[in-house]
Chain A
Amino acid sequence: MIRVLSRRLLGAIPVLLVLVLVVFILQKVAPVDPVAALVGAKASPAVYAAARHTLGLDQPFPVQFFHYVVHALHGNLGQSTVTRTPVAADIGRYLPVTLELVFMAMIFVVAIGFFLGLATAQGWRGSGVLRVVMVSGASVPVFLACLLGMLIFYRWLNVLPISGQTSFYDAPTGPTHFLLIDSLLAGRLDVFADDLDHLVLPAFCLALTPAVAVGRVLRSSLEATLRADHTRTARAKGLGEKRILIVHALRNSLGPVLALMGLQVAAMVGNAILVELIFARPGIGLFVAQAIDVGDFNAIAGVTLVMGVLYVVANIIVDALQSVADPRVAL
């Protein structure tokens, strides 16, 4: 596992460099002139040139790129062209809200995905219906899931809130910025429960498509393992089906599922933007959606970098887990 981790961490460096390079190029391509955005369109040429020099934009591109990488490594992602606040500070404030959402969604993905996979692989009663649900579930755009979720759980059943992160104005704001953790640290169980309440529906909507995908892959992977020789041996020994499934088949079927979950994180961080926009959760998704509206490219670039890093890290974790589930992967 350590070997896999170290190898993957080294391999991530060029990937992250490509990410930074892409974002850097996009910033150069963007039609917004950062100098004009800073000094205004009517600034005199001298002021303009001075600002250009302070921003380092009069230097050759490779030098600019080098500075960009160094700044990014120091956590300096530039200034929002609209609010004039450092992008990194904004992201630091909003990111925990998004991470809470994605973690919660991950729990749903695992729970629902494993339920679907096990139920259909074993042919439980009614699993034929589940298979249809699985094909259609993969086709539902996340915003349709959100809209229907709002109609069902708020309008008709009125059991879940649909807007924001918490309804408490005096909710604790530190020290970790994860409201679930902060509220527990502050001993505010009411805030904790309220936050969970606000989290369930968005997380479920975000989890729907990946959960279905996990279920499909787990099913086909389980079916292959259940036909393998060692399963037949286990059966010949007289073990019960449940024990064969849990002890002998499940772990061996996890490889493809874990690989898929790593890939699904990409869709999830993208979809989190829509979910946060619809449910008005103050995370980096809502932040970037607003940045798109006003054309604040520094903010968009910052969020792209952060989401890219999250994705790469998530996949390194997945690789490590894979080598735990199946030690042959580490070879």
Chain B
Amino acid sequence: MAISEPYVPPSLARSRSRAELAIQQYFQGTSVSSYVAFSALALMFFVAIFAKVIAPYDPLVPAGQPMTGPSFHNLLGTDTAGRDELSRVLVGMQTSWFGALAVVASGVIIGGLIGLIAGAAGGWIDAILMRVTDAFLALPGPVLALAVVAAIGPSFIHTLFGVAIVWWPLYTRIVRAEVRKLRASPHVDAARVGGASRWRLLRRHLLPGAVPVTIVTASLDIAALVLILASLSFLGLGAPQPAPELGSMSAQGVTYIFNDWWIPVMPAAAVALIAIVANFAGDAIRDRIRDR
């Protein structure tokens, strides 16, 4: 190891105590509103993970008379086939939540990787990569996603894929900007003079600096993705019929809006609920990271 690099203790002993320290530090002086936001986020994860356990009925099988209003037996009423709306909404929330997380993760990985390469390499590699990124940024993402899914055929996985294809350029821009800023900073120069390899520079000295701003952007992005995935599902580009997806459930129910309003409104309200939780949690995470 080069002399100019700071001494780093062996990784096994470090990881746990550092994580604990980080969590401790994180919650010190946290405001009430961000406690509420983080609790809502934890609850959201709980619902998403255990949706099928919490759901009182099978979401695909009739559980009562069709189109009955909210009652003690069916808290959110039943849909046109008599299936329990609450169970379907819960499972739909699971799909929505993990779908949005998956797309954000793929955006961060793909976009981050391209941004890291462009920022670290510079020169003509940077120029080419960023021209392509800018071209994608200058096009309307939701519409392109729609075209991609329509081309490869409707299904839940295809929806995720279609949105993921157009969702990386933002992260490329952010990570590249961060990396370029870091590349000029003294600690990177020191490491380079100290003889650190290019790969080591990337991994140890450039990448960690781009993490905070990426986390903030990603957490604020989740709500937008929940909305877009629900919209595509509403247009019939998600999973085929009986699958409990919030967007398509709402779309199926639009014709019943005036007599059985809960059929289209409840799934749509669930989408709004997820997005609100994601937005507030995103704000709280941003505040935490900015304050540090």
- Give the interface of A toward B (CB within 8 A): 12, 14-15, 18-19, 22-23, 26-27, 29-31, 135-136, 138-144, 147-148, 150-151, 155, 265-267, 269-271, 273-274, 277-278, 288-289, 291-293, 295, 297, 300-301, 304, 307-308, 311-312, 315
- Give the interface of B toward A (CB within 8 A): 131-132, 134-136, 138-144, 146-148, 150-154, 223, 227-228, 230-231, 234-237, 247, 250-251, 254, 257-258, 261, 264-265, 268-269, 271-272, 275-276, 278-280, 283
The answer to whether B279 touches A135, judged by C-beta atoms less than 8 angstroms apart, is yes
12 additional contacts (CB under 8 A) given A266-B143, A274-B235 = A19-B139, A135-B283, A139-B275, A144-B268, A151-B257, A266-B142, A269-B143, A270-B142, A273-B235, A300-B147, A307-B140, A311-B139
The answer to whether A297 touches B150, judged by C-beta atoms less than 8 angstroms apart, is yes
Report the 8 A-B pairs with minimum CB-CB distance, sorted nearest first.
A270-B142, A139-B275, A266-B140, A144-B268, A26-B151, A18-B135, A304-B147, A139-B276
Q: How far does the Cβ of B213 sit from chain A's closest Cβ, in whole Å?
A: 17
Q: How far is the CA of A140 from the CA of B231 in the complex (A)?
A: 11
Q: Which of B132, B147, B228 has the most chain A CB within a 10 Å cutoff?
A: B147
Which of the residues A139, A142, A292, A311 comes within 8 Å of B143, measured between beta carbons? A311
Q: Which residues of A contact B268 (CB under 8 A)?
A: 141, 143-144, 147
Q: Which residues of A contact B230 (CB under 8 A)?
A: 141, 143
Q: A30-B151, A143-B231 are in contact. Are A270 and B146 (CB under 8 A)?
A: yes
Q: Which residues of A contact B276 (CB under 8 A)?
A: 135-136, 139
Which chain B residue lies CB-closest to A314? B140
Q: How far does the Cβ of A313 sit from chain B's closest Cβ, in whole Å?
A: 11
The answer to whether A297 touches B140, judged by C-beta atoms less than 8 angstroms apart, is no
Q: How far is the CA of A300 from the CA of B272 in the complex (A)?
A: 28
The answer to whether B147 touches A15, judged by C-beta atoms less than 8 angstroms apart, is no
Q: Which residues of A contact B236 (CB under 8 A)?
A: 292-293
The answer to whether B231 touches A274, judged by C-beta atoms less than 8 angstroms apart, is yes
The answer to whether B140 touches A26, judged by C-beta atoms less than 8 angstroms apart, is no
Q: A150-B257, A292-B237 are in contact. Are A142 and B147 (CB under 8 A)?
A: no
Q: How far is the CA of A312 from the CA of B230 in the complex (A)?
A: 25
Which chain B residue lies CB-closest to A277? B235
Q: Which residues of A contact B228 (CB under 8 A)?
A: 270
Q: Which residues of B contact A291 (CB under 8 A)?
A: 150
The answer to whether B235 touches A300, judged by C-beta atoms less than 8 angstroms apart, is no
Q: How far is the CA of A304 from the CA of B280 in the complex (A)?
A: 33
Q: What are 14 A-B residue pairs whose CB atoms fall within 8 Å in the complex?
A: A18-B135, A22-B144, A22-B147, A135-B279, A135-B280, A139-B275, A142-B231, A151-B265, A266-B141, A267-B142, A277-B235, A304-B143, A308-B144, A311-B143
Q: How far is the CA of A197 from the CA of B268 in the complex (A)?
A: 26
Which chain A residue lies CB-closest to B274? A139
The answer to whether B258 touches A155, judged by C-beta atoms less than 8 angstroms apart, is yes
Q: A139-B275, A143-B251, A308-B140 are in contact. Are A270 and B269 (CB under 8 A)?
A: no
Q: Which residues of B contact A289 (CB under 8 A)?
A: 235
Q: A14-B131, A147-B254, A270-B142 are in contact. Are A292 and B269 (CB under 8 A)?
A: no
The answer to whether A18 touches B257, judged by C-beta atoms less than 8 angstroms apart, is no
The answer to whether B140 touches A29, judged by C-beta atoms less than 8 angstroms apart, is no
Q: Which residues of A contact B152 (CB under 8 A)?
A: 29-31
Q: Which residues of A contact B140 (CB under 8 A)?
A: 265-266, 269-270, 307-308, 311
Q: A135-B279, A139-B223, A139-B276 are in contact. Are A23 and B231 (CB under 8 A)?
A: no
